[in-house]
Every structure is written in C-alpha cells, then in structure tokens.
C-alpha cells in the first residue's frame, strides 16, 4: 500500500485546525467559561472542559503527528474521525446555542473531511491504476 500524498497547503491548513482545537481545549481547562458562557463555579463546567480536553488533546496530537510524519498511513482515518468529532461539536453547539462552537466545528469538519475525501479518492485511483 502506498503512502497517501498531500500538498503542503493541505498539511498546513489541517495542522492549524488541529493545533487550534488542542489550544482551545487547553485554554478551556484554564478557563471553562471560554467554551460555555456562565460562571466558572457552575456545576459541570469543569467536567465539560475536562471531557473536551480528554478527547481533543490526544486526537489533535495524533493528527498533528501524522501530518508531520513522512509516512501518512494513519492520516485518512484520523482525518475522518477528527471531522466526525467536529460535526459532533457542531451538533452540541446548535443544541446549546453556542455560535462559536457551530462555526468553528463546521470549519474544522469541512477542512478535515474534505482532505479525507481527497485522500480516499487518491487511494481509489491508485488502486485502480495498480490493478
């Protein structure tokens, strides 16, 4: 199986998106009100920030590592999962009335899923040519 190829623009845009998600999750650990309006003393605010960070930090770090790696075999599933997670954030943001979560999640979902779609298409074309 060949490694998947991405141009430097796609790598940079996805890395910025993953880095932003990680940075935002770290910032919400410090100040949970960045993610959800209300008092920092509100019940569940710390839990929300911790749950968000528990998935955003390792997923973002894995995606960043894969984007920086010479071998990109894990990139397609990581981009797909990252995009799906962002769509989940969009749904949560819509249900809770958090515009920033809807907009940010939509942009990152589009970036990750469009790149995953391109990789999948390239993989399909490579398989067809090899056959």
Q: For residue range 79-109, what is the model confidence (pLDDT) as tens digits?
A: 999 999 999 999 999 998 889 889 999 999 9
More confident residue, 37 or 24: 24
Rounded CA separation 18/85 (Å):
12
pTM metric for this prediction: 0.86
Joined together, the tokens standing for residue 83 give: 């995009």
Work out the pLDDT band at 35, boundaries 50, 70, 90.
confident
* DSSP alpha helix (H) spans, 1-131: 8-30, 45-68, 75-96, 99-130
Question: Closest by alpha carbon to 53, among 45, 65, 42?
Answer: 45
Identify the pLDDT of residue 2. 43
Those residues with Cβ within 8 angstroms of residue 60's Cβ, 6 or more apart along the chain or in another chain: 18, 19, 21, 22, 25, 82
């Amino acid at each position: 199986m060949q490694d998947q190829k991405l141009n430097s623009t796609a790598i940079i845009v996805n890395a910025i998106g993953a880095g932003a998600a990680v940075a935002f999750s770290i910032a919400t650990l410090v100040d949970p009100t960045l993610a959800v309006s209300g008092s920092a003393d509100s019940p569940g605010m710390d839990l929300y920030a911790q749950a968000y960070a528990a998935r955003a930090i390792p997923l973002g770090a894995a995606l960043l590592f894969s984007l920086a790696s010479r071998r990109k075999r894990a990139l397609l599933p990581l981009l797909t999962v990252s995009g799906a997670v962002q769509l989940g954030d969009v749904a949560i943001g819509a249900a809770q009335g958090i515009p920033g979560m809807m907009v940010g999640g939509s942009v990152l979902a589009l970036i990750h899923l469009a790149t995953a779609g391109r990789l999948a298409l390239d993989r399909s074309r490579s398989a067809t040519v090899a056959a």
